[in-house]
């Protein structure tokens, strides 16, 4: 491994990195040459359609005995993919080449899901078929309803969601292996259709209200809203602006290439685990507070600041001391180092919806003050920390009446087509192998077993 300080980069387009025993000579654009103690490996340079380049190290170990070390994979391309393009420096996000701004303005969640999963926008006939297929699979097997009564009332909806998604695999054993495209399409439609029902039922369970069944006359998002908020005792009318805001939120969350949960879905799926099991693993990965759990953390943070008198500067100063590792939640991103294009769309949608619903939310004021303070503070500027997708999304969910512990479930609803698209792409790749990273062992060297009596 080249140690910092010992390495030098000689020139930018083709470079030479020098160590005592190691040199990497990069000869652009086709290959890189790595020499270690006299052993030379010529490694192909792979170029993507948007000009990104990566050294293909698949044969590195065979040729040199070395592996690459990249904990947290910040510099590792785990696959090639046709689905989503991100340019973190320029704040670009495109699904199948289409700018996120256009999709958020013009598309629906189901259409975007089709685009991600099947590679192109659907024709009118395709969309009708896809929509009908999803709409007709929204009901859960009646036995599955019993599962909900076995959770404590305090159960986190992400725990229920992951368990229920995995449990779906036991109800569709006949198509589980998906031997044909038709069987795979059926599994896909079932998942997209049933996840909102599971999510809404878990919410109803948590507040002790009866489950509201899906209704085929509604759009995908309107159906979810009525399953969440309708009660049998009275008529429920879906607000068209809330419905559209939800479409936008789901579209914005629909895919984000090789993030933690998507990589999890791919890794689990690479062992030939079925689609339901792989997606359930993705739900668990999303739950973490540094990933999908951040939207709920943002609301907690805003509430804490409000309870503390609304002193934004005090909180920013606290973050900067790094005491107790407190972070400005909803800020920063592994990939976006300029701005997150989803954040500005959500911010606008948030303002629009709150205005329309005549909601004057003190937490929105605190969020705006926090954003302004951070965007003018050298600590955040130097580290390229900008609001991410989660900074404003919680405020819209709150305006819709969605409780904080459901925020990450909302993220999962949105991310579902992305997970499916990546699973399908990976499993359709004839060269697919089980994912299995290596490691550099740093534990004890040979250490013989001592009988209990000899140990101190």
Binding site for ligand ACO (CB under 6 A): 290-291, 294, 319, 327-334, 383, 385, 388-390
Give whichever of 193 and 346 is closer to ligand ACO, judged by the CB atom. 346
Closest distance of CB 123 from ligand ACO, Å? 32
State the residue number with the nearest CB to ligand ACO.
Answer: 332
Left (φ > 0), alpha (ψ -120 to 50) or beta: where does 223 sit? Answer: alpha
Residue 419 CA from chain centroid, whole number: 8
Q: Which is nearer to ligand ACO, 214 or 292 (CB)?
A: 292
Report the distance separating Cα 98 and Cα 314, nearest Å: 41
* DSSP 8-state secondary structure symbol assigned to residue 88: T
Backbone angles phi, psi at 420, to 5 degrees: -65, -45
Q: How close are the terminal C-alpha atoms of the chain, in Å?
A: 38
Query: 257 and 446 in contact (C-beta within 8 Å)?
Result: no
State in angstroms the smallest separation of the CB of 327 from ligand ACO.
Answer: 4
User: What's the sign of the alpha-carbon dihedral 428, 432, 435, 440?
Assistant: negative
Of 196 and 414, which has the nearer Cβ to ligand ACO?
A: 414
Task: List the catalytic residue out of 253, 333, 340, 422.
Answer: 333
DSSP 262-323: HHHHHHHHHTT--HHHHHHHHHHHHHSTTTTTHHHHHHHHHHHHHHTTS-HHHHHHHHHHTG
Give whichever of 88 and 122 is closer to ligand ACO, judged by the CB atom. Answer: 88
Q: Give how far Cα 186 sits from Cα of 162, 219, 450, Å.
A: 20, 19, 56
Please answer whether residues 110 and 131 qualify as being in contact, where contact means their C-beta atoms are separated by less than 8 angstroms: yes
Buried b (16+ CB within 10 A) or exposed e, 129-152: ebbebbbebbebeeebeebbeebe
Cβ atoms of 261 and 423 closer than 8 Å = no
What gap in Å lies between CA 189 and CA 2, rounded to an integer?
49
Catalytic residue, from 137, 156, 340, 390: name it: 390
Instruction: Between 141 and 384, name the residue whose CB sits nearer to ligand ACO.
Output: 384
Q: Rank residues 199 and 328 by Cβ distance to ligand ACO and give the closer one.
A: 328
Q: Any catalytic annotation for residue 361?
A: no
Contact by Cβ (8 Å): 271, 254: no
Residue 77 C-beta: closest distance to ligand ACO, Å: 16
| 390 included as an active-site residue | yes
Residues in CB range of 164: below 8 A, 6 or more apart: 144, 147, 198, 202
Considering the complex, state which of residue 234 and residue 382 has its C-beta at the smaller distance from ligand ACO.
382
Contacts of 112 (CB under 8 A, 6+ apart): 95, 103, 250, 251, 254, 417
Nearest distance from C-beta of residue 259 to ligand ACO, angstroms: 6
Residue 423: CB atoms within 10 A of its CB come to 25
Taking the complex as a whole, how short is the minimal distance between the CB of residue 293 and ligand ACO, in angstroms? 8
**Alpha-carbon gap, residue 241 to 247, rounded angstroms:** 10
In whole angstroms, the minimum distance from the beta carbon of 397 to ligand ACO comes to: 14
Measured from the CB atom, is 184 or 346 closer to ligand ACO? 346
CB of 289 to ligand ACO, least distance (A): 7
User: What amino acid positions are annotated as catalytic residues?
Assistant: 333, 390
């Amino acid at each position: 491994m080249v140690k910092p300080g010992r390495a030098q980069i000689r020139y930018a387009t083709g470079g030479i990195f020098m160590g005592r025993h190691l040199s990497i000579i990069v000869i652009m654009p086709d290959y890189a040459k790595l020499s270690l103690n006299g052993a030379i490996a010529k490694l192909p340079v792979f170029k993507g359609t948007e000009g990104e380049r990566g050294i293909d190290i698949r044969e590195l170990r065979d040729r040199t005995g070395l592996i690459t070390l990249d904990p947290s994979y910040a510099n590792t391309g785990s696959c090639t993919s046709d689905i989503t393009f991100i340019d973190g420096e320029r704040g670009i996000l495109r699904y199948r080449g289409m700018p996120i701004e256009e999709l958020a303005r013009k598309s629906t969640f189901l259409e975007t899901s089709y685009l991600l999963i099947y590679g192109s926008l659907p024709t009118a006939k395709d969309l009708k078929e896809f929509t009908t297929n999803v709409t007709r699979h929204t009901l859960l097997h009646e036995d599955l309803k019993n599962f909900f009564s076995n959770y404590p009332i305090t159960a986190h909806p992400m725990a229920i969601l992951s368990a229920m998604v995995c449990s779906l695999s036991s109800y569709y054993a006949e198509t589980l292996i998906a031997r044909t495209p038709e069987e795979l399409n059926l599994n896909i439609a079932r998942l997209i259709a049933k996840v909102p029902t599971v999510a809404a039922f878990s919410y109803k369970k948590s507040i002790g209200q009866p489950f509201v069944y899906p209704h085929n006359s509604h759009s995908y998002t309107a159906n979810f809203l009525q399953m969440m908020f309708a009660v049998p005792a009275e008529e429920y009318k879906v607000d068209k602006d809330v419905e559209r805001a939800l479409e936008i939120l789901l579209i914005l969350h629909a895919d984000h290439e090789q993030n933690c949960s998507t990589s999890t879905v791919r890794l689990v799926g690479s062992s030939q685990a079925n689609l339901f099991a792989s997606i359930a693993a993705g739900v668990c990965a999303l739950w973490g507070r540094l990933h999908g759990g951040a939207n709920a953390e943002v609301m907690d943070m805003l509430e804490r600041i409000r309870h503390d008198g609304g002193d934004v500067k005090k909180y920013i100063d606290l973050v900067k001391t790094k005491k107790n590792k407190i972070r400005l939640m909803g800020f920063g991103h592994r990939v976006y180092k300029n701005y997150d294009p989803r954040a500005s769309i959500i911010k606008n949608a948030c303002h629009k919806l709150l205005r329309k619903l005549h909601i004057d939310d003190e937490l929105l004021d605190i969020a705006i003050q926090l954003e302004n303070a951070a965007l003018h503070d050298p600590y955040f500027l130097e580290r390229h920390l900008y609001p991410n997708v989660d900074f404003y999304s919680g405020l819209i969910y709150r305006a819709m009446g969605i409780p904080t512990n459901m925020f990450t479930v909302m993220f999962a609803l949105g991310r579902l087509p992305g997970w499916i698209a990546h699973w399908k792409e990976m499993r359709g790749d004839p060269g697919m192998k089980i994912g299995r990273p290596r490691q550099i062992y740093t534990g004890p060297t040979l250490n013989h077993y001592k009988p209990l009596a000899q140990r101190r």
